[in-house]
Every structure is written in structure tokens, then in C-alpha cells.
Structure 1
């Protein structure tokens, strides 16, 4: 029996998403040993993370012609090869080489959203499109969970160099596994963009990419809401462990378990909310309601999470389900609203703004804490901005 095209497309993009998340999230887990090997302070891993995010933004802003030239599957393969080279650079004892490797890792991680969207929008049945996009996006927390479970024990048993080699081999193996999909999933490629290399260093390409958001009147609002979600998600993933450790007196192990529950719930949430959005229709309205529910769950975590051990885990699961379970619905709606030939450009531009929010959100959070508001006030500010954008979204007429 012939496998439906959308099944192959989903399996391939989910595998790549999971492997890339596994590799990229393993880097901060290996951080202390990597920084020690490079002769840098342990906190320098923050610079590695920042440069990796910059690499993602670089591809999202300027990689559209590259995607058009090579096609989505080949671009994903090039991305994983770039991540593998970045991992090898991190193994260098010279700090500057490792920092360049961080940029390569981010650049290689960048194609997942636009290339995956281009593949799935052509093959996913419309009645189940949001669910399929959400399953693909569930690869991010799945890869993160695998990194937490596997990378740390591996590096303890075999050392940091062996761990980096393991990550390189996993990435290259995934490149080979998805190679057969090129024959079926790249049949409808557009004309090659021969100026793709120059576009990587031309600011005009970034302007063109962002300009794609004018293709539909709802796209700017949808992008703003996605950036607001990204701000909230970045703060949750960055500060939840520290918050519950300091506020509720948990051990570091227990704080890590709380975060693990939150991320596992987000994986379930991405799939369940994708299914629900397909049933409801009007995904923008769904995202607006979810934004308000997310803000309420964050407030609940802050004010009620410490009443008992079970309430903290329940609140963390609720936060993960709502506030980190939005991504698949959001990307599916971006792809639905965009003209078919602009799907990768629109998702790239919207994701670019999302990553800017991921950088700015924690900085604002830290500023609120530093000004004396504490973690509680900072979480309330982040919840308020998300609820505000959600309310504005609900006032718009559905597209």
C-alpha cells in the first residue's frame, strides 16, 4: 500500500525538527565542560546561546533565496551539515573558533520552520492541516526532552568530545535518512534563485523577507501575537527553574523536574491544540483565546503553585500546555494565509520577529527583577502583555 504523501512529509519534517532540537539543546547542557575546554568562564555559555540565536535570525532574514535555490529537503540537509560543522568547531580549544561554531549551529537550525512549512502546506489535507503542523512542532520539546535525558549521562560516561562526535553522527545520519524524500517532496520546486549566496550578506534581502508580511492584512497581527507568545515562552523556559528554586525552596533536581513537566505538557499541548483548532476553525481567534488562558495559567503558577507539591506540578503542566503549546497552530495559520509561493518567506519573517522577542523578553524580565519588582512582578508583566495582544486579536474580524 502506497504511503500518502503527507505522511512522508510529516515523518521527515518531524524527524529533522526533533534531531535539530536535540542537537541544539544539548549544547547548553554540555556548556560547563565546553567553556572549561575553551578557557572561558562558565557563564560564557550565554554568549554561545546568543550567537546561536543570531545565526537562526540570519537564516530567517536572508535564507529565502537559498531555500528557493536548493529546495526544502536539500536546504534542511545543508542546515544539519552546518550544525555538524558547528559542533566540530565547538570541540576546538580556541574560544573564537567555538563562537563561530555557535553561529553555524544557529544558521543550520534556521531552515526548519520555513522549509518544513513549505513541505507541509503542499501535502497536508486542509481538514487536518493545523494538527499536522502541530505534530511537527512537537519535535522541539521532544528533542529537548531527549537532550535532557541522554546528553548529560553520555558526557559523564564518555566525555565532552565523544558527546560532540555523537551529535555530529546523529545529524549526518538524519541527512541520509531524509535523502529519499527529495524525489517526492521537491517535485514542485520553483525556479532556482542563483543569487542566493549574495543574498546572505545583503540587507535588502531582509527587507524583502519582512515585506512578505504585507501579503495578507491579518499577517502583521498574527506576527505580533506570535512575538508576544515568544516573549512569554522565552521567559518561562529561562526563569521557571530559578523561580521555583528561589520562591518555593525546591532543590535543583526538583526544579528541573518542574521544567520537565512543563515541557512534556507543551508537547501534548501542541498536538491537542492543533486538533482543537482544526475543529473550531478561525485559528486566529483560537490563538487569541489561548493567549488569555496562557496569561491566566502563568499568574496561577506564581500565586498558587507553592500551596502544595502537586499544585506546583499541575500549574507547571497547565502553563506548558497553554503558553508553550501555541507554535504549531500559529505556523499553520501563517502558512494558510500566505500565498503559496510566499509560504517560506512569510514563516521566515514571522519567526524572525519571534526570535527577536525571545531575545528581548528575558532582558525585560531581568530589568523588572533588577528594579525591585521580583520574579512575581516580572511574570505578571509578561502575562499582561500576552493577554493584551490576545484581547486585541479577538477584536479583529476573522480572516
Structure 2
């Protein structure tokens, strides 16, 4: 049966999003053995996570001309190839080569936001747009959950290098799986577009990213709120496994299951919140409230983690649903507010600022742990910044800023 255009777009983007997330989440899950092989402290995985986020920032700031030149599906395939190259580098003893690999993984991952948004903004039925974007973004926690269930047992059974090679093979297979979608979804590409290679090293691309956020008055606040969410989300994704292993003595396999529960809860929350947002509107107001709830959920996770058992799993699920379940509504609102011709650029620009938070968050977290020896304090500080930003946003919020009333 032939899929409709929007269904084809959703299948292609969800597939790539899920596999990219699976590969990205495999790295922090393998943090303890990766750092042990390099002779570094466990919290040093924050440097790898920050380098990956730096690669995403690079892509979001400079990758627009590549998207225009090759089209969204081909750009997604190029991104997957970059991830495979990065995984190959990480399969070697960690050092400068490993950090370059993390940069390549980030650059490859960064294409998912602008390319996926461009496809869905052009094909999704308006009355279901937020839900469709949320389903696509649910690929992030779905990939994370699969990584949590598969990666740790695979590493324990076959070793670190074999696990990285397996993930690499899955990424390359996905490049082939999405090829049939290219004919129907890459029709708006500009093969004559030149200079995309030079743009990757152009400082002017960053200035364009800032200017494009002026196209709607709601975009700056929405972008800043997303960046604050990203700080906390990045720390949860980078350090949860290492935290429960080093501070609470759980096994690597159980840490993977805890991360999987967190990601499944996030996946379900993204879809549910997308459905709710399509019916109730007020997306920006919703995100402000969710910021405070997310901070409280992370504080509860830290306070109750030593209870272990179902309490730890329940707290992880709550933190995942709130602090990682925001992205679909946020991305759909960005795409809805942006002029159709600038959807890719607006989501890239907002994502760029978000991933700046993803770089700074893990680095600040690792610094706090190094200075204080406390993962709990680091988590509380990251949760507090989101709560404060949410309360400040609520104080300056005006009804006319809510995209639902535009």
C-alpha cells in the first residue's frame, strides 16, 4: 500500500531520528568503560557529550546551504554517514581521535532538526501538526530506550569495541532504508546551490541564525526557554547512567534499564503532550508550566534515588516525561510560527541555542562534580536554573506572545 506524502515524511524522519538517537545515547551509556579505557574519571564522559553537542551546534549554525543543495532526505543520509564515521573513531582508543569522532557524531545528529522540520512543515496536515511533530520527536526517547535495553547487555557480552561496531552497522543500514523516500520528499532541493562547503566554516552563518529569530515576536522567548530545557535534558542524558552506577552501586545493565524507563516515559509524554497541544493551544504557556514541573521532578529523583527498586524507576520515569518530554511541542510551535520558506532556518537557529545549552550544561555539571564530589548538587543546580527561568518567563509572559493566539 502506497503511503500518503505526510505519512512517508513521518516514517522517514521518525526512522532516522530513532536510529540517530540510538547511536547518540549509546555513548553516555558506555561512559564508564569508555572512560576507564582512557584512564579518566567517570565524569569525564561530560567532555565527550559536550563535544557531541558542539558538533550539533556547528551543523545547526552552518548546515543550511547543505540542506538547500541536497534536499532533506539526502541531508539526513549525509548526517548518518557522519555518525558512522564518528563511531568508527570512538571504536579506537579514546584520545583526540575519539573527541573528533564525538564532533562528527554531533554534526551528523544536527541535521535531524532542520531537515525533519522542513519535510514535516510542508507535508503535515495543519490540524494534526503538533501531534505529527511530537511523534517524530518521540524517536529521540525511543532510540534512547532501545539503547538502554540493548547497549549495556551487548557491551557486557561482547565488549566495548564490538558494541560500537554493531551500532555503526545499524546506522549505515538506515542510510539504505530511507533511500526510497528521496524521490517524493527531496523535490524542493536546489542542485545548483553552491558554496555549502565554505558555509561550514563561515562566521556569517551564525549571524544569520540570530537574525532569523526576529521573524516573529514569540521566537526569542521560545528559543531561550528551549535552551534552558536543553541544559537540564543534556545533563540527564549524559550523567544518569554514570550517577546511578557510581553513587548508588547499581550495575551497568540496571543503569541501562533505568535510562530506558526514562526514555520510554519521555516518548509517551511527547506524543500525549503533542495531542493535548493540538486541542488546547497555548503552547508557550504550557512550556512555562512544564519547566517548573520538570525541575521538581529532577529534585525528586535525586531525593529518592537511594530508595532503589520501583521508587527509583518511578522517579526516573517522571523526570523523563517532564524534563525530556517537552521537545515535540517546542519544535512544532517553532515551525508553526516561522514563515514556511524559513522553517529549516528558524528551527536550526533555535536548535543552535538549545545545543549551546547542551554543551554548557554537561561541562558545568562535570565541574560541579569535580569541585564538590556530589552528583546530587550538580543535578539540583541544573534543575534550579530551569525552574528560575520558567518563573521568570511566566512573569514576563503576555497573551499576545502565545502562538496559539496569533
Do these two structures clear the TM 0.5 threshold for a shared fold by scoring above it? yes
What does residue 7 of structure 2 align with?
7
Which secondary structure does the structure 2 equivalent of 1:215 belong to? Answer: coil
1:148 Cα offset (Å): 2.6
What does residue 314 of structure 2 align with?
314
1:82-97 alignment runs, 5 A limit: 82-92=82-92, 95-97=95-97
1:156 Cα offset (Å): 4.3
Per-residue Cα deviation, 1:2-43 (whole angstroms, up to 9, x for no partner): 422111111110100111111222234455666677x66475
Q: CA RMSD in A?
A: 2.9
CA distance in 1, matches of 2:278, 2:91: 45
Moved more, 71-80 or 158-167: 158-167
Q: Taking structure 1 as reference, are residues 141 and 303 closer, same or farther at Cα in structure 2, changes over 3 Å only?
A: same
CA distance in 2, matches of 1:11, 1:116: 11
What does residue 66 of structure 2 align with?
66
CA distance in 1, matches of 2:2, 2:375: 54
Aligned pairs, number: 397
Moved more, 322-331 or 232-241: 232-241
What does residue 18 of structure 2 align with?
18
Q: Which has the higher contact order (CA 8 A, sep 6+)?
A: 2
CA contact (8 A) 2:301 2:316 kept: yes
Q: Taking structure 1 as reference, are residues 257 and 216 closer, same or farther at Cα in structure 2, changes over 3 Å only?
A: same
* Residue ranges of structure 2 left out of the alignment (5+ in a row): none
What does residue 143 of structure 2 align with?
143
1:28-67 alignment runs, 5 A limit: 28-30=28-30, 41=40, 45-67=45-67
CA distance in 2, matches of 1:161, 1:58: 27
CA contact (8 A) 1:210 1:346 kept: no
Task: Say which of 374, 396, 399 aligns to 2:398.
Answer: 396
What does residue 285 of structure 1 align with?
285
Q: Taking structure 1 as reference, are residues 276 and 195 closer, same or farther at Cα in structure 2, changes over 3 Å only?
A: same
What does residue 132 of structure 2 align with?
132
1:168 Cα offset (Å): 3.0
CA distance in 2, matches of 1:140, 1:165: 21
What does residue 343 of structure 1 align with?
343
CA distance in 2, matches of 1:78, 1:258: 32
CA distance in 2, matches of 1:160, 1:115: 32
Moved more, 230-239 or 28-37: 28-37
What does residue 250 of structure 2 align with?
251
What does residue 231 of structure 2 align with?
231
CA distance in 1, matches of 2:202, 2:325: 35
CA contact (8 A) 2:148 2:259 kept: no
1:372-391 alignment runs, 5 A limit: 375-391=375-391
CA distance in 1, matches of 2:19, 2:87: 14
Q: Taking structure 1 as reference, are residues 374 and 174 closer, same or farther at Cα in structure 2, changes over 3 Å only?
A: closer
Q: Taking structure 1 as reference, are residues 382 and 166 closer, same or farther at Cα in structure 2, changes over 3 Å only?
A: closer
1:244 Cα offset (Å): 5.4
CA contact (8 A) 1:285 1:393 kept: no
What does residue 329 of structure 1 align with?
329
CA contact (8 A) 2:12 2:181 kept: yes
What does residue 194 of structure 2 align with?
194
With structure 1 as the length reference, what TM-score do the two structures score?
Answer: 0.88
CA contact (8 A) 2:50 2:360 kept: no
